[in-house]
Structure 1
Amino acid sequence: MTETKLQGVRKQLGYKADAVITMLLRRADMLGLAVMSPVSLKTKLSRWENGHEEVSQPYRRLFRDIYGRTNDELGFPPDDDNNEAEELLSRLALARSVDSEMVEVFRRQVDDARHVDRRLGGVVVLDQLRSNIKQIRGLLSFSTVAGQREALAGVLTEASALAGWEALDRNAIRQAWEHHETAKTAAREAGSPLLFAHSLAQQAFILVDLGETGPAVEQLAEARTIAKHTAPPLLRSWLAAAHGEGLAAAGHRSEALRAFDSADGLLPADPEDPALPFLFLGGAHLDRWRGHALSKLGEPDAIDQLSHALPRLPADFIRAKTGMLVDLAYAHAASGDRDEALAQARQARRLAGQIKSDRQLRRKEPCQRGRV
C-alpha cells in the first residue's frame, strides 16, 4: 500500500501514533475545539493515514498546527481564502505561544545533538537536526513578538551551524554550505555578530576542503575582523586558530604560526563559556589544532605536537581523535616513516568507519595507499 503524505510526515518527524494523538488533543484544548475521544481518535488516525477516510475539519487545522506543514504537504485538499486566513491566524497564534522555556527546549536539543555528534558522528543526529531546523524556521517565519524572534534566530544559528558541520563530515558539501548560509542569515536576524563570525569562519572550512584556500583565508580574516572588538577572548582565540588552519592549508607558514601564537595568547585561563557551548579549546584542543596545521605544512614538529596532545584528548571526542590520527599519518609519511604512517592511517580508518566520517575516510586514503 502506498504511504500517504500524512503518514509520511509523521514518520519523517519521528512521532509515534500515541504522541500524535496527545498533541492533537492538547492543541484542540488550546483552541477550544471539540474533538473525539482518544480511543476514537486512535482508530481514526489509522484510517486517515492509510487513506481509508479523508481528514475532516477541524482535524486538518490541528494537523497543520502540530506538524507545521501545509495542506499540500499533508495531502489535504486546498482551503478557500477564508480558511487560508484562518490557517495564517493559527500559525501566528502558534508562534506567539513560544516562550523562553520553549526556546530553551530547542537550545537543549541542539546541545544534546552536539554531545551525541562528538561520540557517534553526524549520521546519528543529522536528520533529527534538519527536522529541528525546519520546525524552528517555521516558527520564526510567523513570529511577531519582539525578543522572541531574536531568541529563536539564535537557536536556529547554532542548529544550522552544527548541521552544516555534520554534513561536511558526511562529505555532503553542498548541504553543508546551505546550512551555513542559513546559520549566517539567522545570526543577522538574531543581531549577533559573534554568532555570525563563528558561522562565517566555520563555513570557510568547506572552501578549504574544496581547495579554495585563497577565498577561505579571506573569509576567515573577515570573521576575525567582525569579532575583533566585541567578542570574548575565547571566540577570538578560536577564530585566530581557525585562521591559522586556513593559512596553513594555503601554505603560508609564518602567518599560520603567528595566528596560532595569537590564539594561544588570547585563550582565557578558563576556556569554557556557557554562552559559547560550540567552542572547545581547553586541554588538548588548541594543541591538536596547531598540530593539524603543522602537519598541513609538512613540519617535523607535527609528530611531537600531535603525539603529546593525543593522550590528553577527552575520550568522547571521537571525530577529533580520528582527525589527529590522520594528521599523524601524514606527518610520519612526510618524515619518511611509511610503516608508522600506515599504522596511524589504519587506526584512523577504523574510527572513521565507526562514526561514518566520510570526510576523514577521504582524507586518510592517500596516506593509506602510500601516496604521501
Structure 2
Amino acid sequence: MSEWENGRRPISVRYAAILRNLLGVTDAELRGVPEKPTLPVADGYDDLLSRIDSASTVSGPMVKAFNDQTELLRTMDRERGAAALIDQMTGHLATLEDALNFAVLPTTRRPVALALAGASTLAAWQAIDSGAVERAWRHYELAKRAALDAEAPMYLAHAMGEQAYVLCDAGRSALAVDLVRDAQRTLGQSGSPRLRAWLHAAEAELCAHAGMDDDSQRALESAMKVIPEGPEARDPDMLSIFLNGAHLARWRGNILGLLGDDEAVTSLYEALGVMDPTFVRARAGLHTDLAQAHLARAEYDDANAHLRQARLLASRTGSVRQRRRVDLLSERL
C-alpha cells in the first residue's frame, strides 16, 4: 500500500477491482487520473454510421432491460450499500450514454433519455453516500440533461431536489433551499402527489439546516397534506420515490429533531416500528436521527445505544455519509 501511495508500484487490474468495490470509487478516482470523455470518438464515417444504426435499433424490450438493470441496482443499493456496486453502476451509465449519444430521432432518444435520467439520479445518490461529491454533482447534471431530452419534468425536478443535498452537505444550505424551491416551480402542479410531498419534505429539511424554522414547519405541513393515504410507498410515475405516511413520519422526526422539537423522539420511534427491514441504509439514518433527538434532550445513554446501531448498519452498507453523521454526533457524547 505504501508503494501504491508513493507511486513506486502501479495498482494492478486485480487489486484495482478489489479497491473500487471496497472504497466505492471509479477507476479514474482510484488512480488519480482525469475522467475520459463520455462521448466515444467515432473513427471515420463508417464507424459513426455503425453506431447510429446500432442506436436506432434500441427497442422497447431493450429499454425495459435498461430499466430492469437500474431497478436491480437500486434494490442492491438499498440492502447492501453503494460501495460494492461502483463497477456495475459505471458500466450501466456508460451503456445508456452510448445509446443516447448516437440516437438520432426523438422517438428513439426519449425512452433512452428517460432511462438514463433515472439511472443517473440513482448513481448520484450512491456517489453522495460514498463521499464522492464531485461525481455526484456531475451525475445530477447528466440526469437533468437527460430529463430535458426526455421532456420529463418529474425526473428533472427530482434530480434538482436531490442535487440540493450536495449543496447542503457542502455548507450552502440557503442555496440548497433556493434549488429545491426552483425544482417545485419546475414541477408545478402536474407531478404526482408523492413527488410533490417528497419535494416539500426536502424543502422542510433543508430549511431546518438553514435556520429557517418557520419555513421548515410550513413545508412540512404541506408535505403531510399531499402525501397519499395507505401503505403503498412506490410511486408508479416516479420509480425512484419511496414515500408513504410511515416514511414521512421518519422524515418528519428527523426534521423536528433538527428544529429541537421534543416531538421528534415519538415520531421517530413510530417510524422505527413500521420500517421495512430491507431499507438497511435508511434504518442506519433513522437510528442516527434518534441519537440526535436524544442528544437534544440530554439522554446520553439512549443516544449512545442508537449510535452503536447506526454505526453497525452504516459499516454494513459502506455508507460514508452516515458514518460521518455518526462520528459528528459521537463527538458530542
For normalisation by structure 2, the TM-score amounts to 0.85
Counterpart in 2 of 1:285?
247
User: Once the 2 structures are TM-superposed, how far is the Cα of residue 126 of structure 1 from its aligned partner?
Assistant: 3.0
Question: Which whole-Å deviations, capped at 9, do the CAs of 1:161-182 have from their partners, x for residues lacking one?
Answer: 0000000001111111111011
Amino acid at match of 2:73: A
- SS for the counterpart of 1:278 is strand
Q: Whole-Å Cα distance in 2 between the matches of residues 119 and 176 of structure 1? A: 20
Counterpart in 2 of 1:323?
285
* Match for residue 361 of structure 1 among 307, 323, 329: 323
Q: Is the 8 A contact 2:120 2:142 kept in 1?
A: yes
**Two-structure CA RMSD over aligned residues (Å):** 1.8
Counterpart in 2 of 1:54?
none
| Matching of residue 243 in structure 1 with residue 203 in structure 2 | yes
Counterpart in 2 of 1:218?
178
Question: Which whole-Å deviations, capped at 9, do the CAs of 1:141-191 have from their partners, x for residues lacking one?
Answer: 110133110111001001000000000001111111111011011111111
Point out the structure with max Rg over C-alpha: 1
Q: Whole-Å Cα distance in 1 between the matches of residues 114 and 292 of structure 2? A: 38
User: Once the 2 structures are TM-superposed, how far is the Cα of residue 293 of structure 1 from its aligned partner?
Assistant: 0.7
Q: Is the 8 A contact 2:177 2:203 kept in 1?
A: yes
* Match for residue 260 of structure 1 among 220, 226, 242: 220
User: Once the 2 structures are TM-superposed, how far is the Cα of residue 370 of structure 1 from its aligned partner?
Assistant: 2.8
Ranges of 4+ aligned residues in structure 1 off by more than 4 Å: 68-71
* Match for residue 201 of structure 1 among 156, 161, 171: 161
Question: Which whole-Å deviations, capped at 9, do the CAs of 1:69-126 have from their partners, x for residues lacking one?
Answer: 668xxxxxxx6xxxx2111111011101111110110011111111111101111223
Unaligned runs of 5+ in 1: 1-7, 13-67, 72-78
After superposition, the Cα gap between the structure-2 partners of 1:135 and 1:296, relative to the gap in structure 1 and judged at 3 Å, is: same
* Match for residue 106 of structure 1 among 63, 66, 69: 66
Amino acid at match of 2:229: A
Q: Is the 8 A contact 1:188 1:196 kept in 2?
A: yes
Amino acid at match of 1:265: K
Percent of counterpart pairs with the same letter? 37
* Match for residue 314 of structure 1 among 258, 266, 276: 276
| Matching of residue 334 in structure 1 with residue 300 in structure 2 | no
Unaligned runs of 5+ in 2: 1-12, 18-38
Q: Is the 8 A contact 1:329 1:344 kept in 2?
A: yes
For normalisation by structure 1, the TM-score amounts to 0.76
Counterpart in 2 of 1:133?
93
Counterpart in 1 of 2:135?
175
Say which is worse superposed, 335-344 or 148-157, in terms of deviation: 335-344
Q: Whole-Å Cα distance in 2 between the matches of residues 111 and 283 of structure 1? A: 23
- SS for the counterpart of 2:168 is helix
Question: Which whole-Å deviations, capped at 9, do the CAs of 1:251-297 have from their partners, x for residues lacking one?
Answer: 22221121111111111235533221111112421111111111112
Q: Whole-Å Cα distance in 1 between the matches of residues 328 and 156 of structure 2? A: 35
Amino acid at match of 2:286: M
Q: Whole-Å Cα distance in 2 between the matches of residues 216 and 208 of structure 1? A: 6
